[in-house]
Amino acid sequence: MNQALIATTYTGLPRMPEVVAKGKPLPCMQCHLANGGSHPESAAIAGLTVNYIMEQVHAFRDGERADVRTGRMVQVAKIISEKDLKEAAEY
């Protein structure tokens, strides 16, 4: 089984939104993992508030937050819908 299938079917986790498991151009869990713990090069987002996560994604989208490692987040932030962003942040 792959990580997405396990994470989306494992009964100990809340239902994973599609954008987290399979979003384009990248699913959230590719960098931030299914539990929000993240890889060392990505921010750990587990436990952050919904509003904070949404504000940060908007900052990536609007060019207010950028450095040499934010290219992927900027790509995602520019195309994610507000509905998908809210679902991901709530997850």
Sketch the domain layout of the chain as residue ranges. 3-90
Q: What's the whole-number average pLDDT of the chain?
A: 88
Token pair 């509905």 is at which residue? 83
Token pair 């195309």 is at which residue? 79
**pLDDT at position 7 over 90:** no
Secondary structure tally for the chain: helices H, strands E: 6, 0
| Residue that wins the pLDDT comparison between 1 and 22 | 22
- For the 3-90 domain, the top CATH level (class) is mainly alpha
Q: Summarize pLDDT for 44-83 with one digit per residue, the tens.
A: 999 999 999 999 999 999 999 988 888 999 999 999 999 9
**pLDDT at position 5 over 70:** no
